[in-house]
Amino acid sequence: MRLAFQVAYIGTNFYGSQMQPGLRTVEDTLISACRDLGLFDDWRTAGFAFSGRTDRGVHARGQICAFTTSLPDRARERLNYILPGDCWCSGWAETAETFHPRFDAESRTYRYYIHDDGSTDLSLMQKAAELLPGTHNFTHFSRLDGKNPEKTILSSEVRAEDGFYVYEIMAPGFLWNMVRCIVTALIAVGRNELDTDDLTALLTGAPNMRHLTPAPPEGLILWDIDCGIAFTPLESSDRMIYAFRERNRFFETMKKVNMLLD
């Protein structure tokens, strides 16, 4: 049976999501847990896959992984018990054998938390965020590595929440560092270091514009991925308690992130 799981993690102590020899990553952690439970022997044979990668320090609320196993009940009932405190599954679903969480993803949503220290004008950031929906050239917002710089943004907004400015963006897909570079641009507009004309020029890939530096990874959360699947919630109260404790540390980190953006 092929299963999909919604995966959440605090990215602080992971070297990103993608497998890397000798380093603690989210994929390695989940694969090791599955092997310990006897869910599969070889992750390749099981078709283990994530919806996408996150960099070191980036968190997730709604990452999706999928694999095929002959022990679905054991996977649903035991996986959360042997995963570490900073990684847990919040939901599960049975899928078609052909399901691939990356290629079947219809949209991805990210949130970035910016500490409101009074130096950034929310209304200016909101006006800048409204320029993002549509198809643009993100040459100055990413490390392309030969990829097409054009991406289509479905929604983009900034709002105030719990002493933070929360930037939320949704698109079918993103380039490497793209969201974090967008955040850098929005903050620069909010601090009158760039104006909306500058942002518009950046979104055309104008050659005379400088490449943006990505905002720190600690503020970024992979919030949701829409694969057209309805997930059944999993019991993960102990993980929620851990996450609640980490939430305070996370917010303190976000206050320090603002210093790094200066």
Return d(Cα 261, Cα 187) in angstroms, integer. Answer: 9
Return d(Cα 16, Cα 13) in angstroms, integer. Answer: 9
**Contact between residue 3 and residue 236 where contact means Cβ atoms under 8 Å apart:** no
- What positions carry a catalytic annotation? 55
Q: Please give the full DSSP string across 87-113, using - where no structure is assigned.
A: EEEEEEEEE-TT--TTTT--EEEEEEE
Q: Please give the full DSSP string across 146-215, using - where no structure is assigned.
A: T---EEEESEEEEEEETTEEEEEEEES---TTHHHHHHHHHHHHHTTSS-HHHHHHHTTT-TTSPPPPPP
Return d(Cα 91, Cα 28) in angstroms, integer. Answer: 19
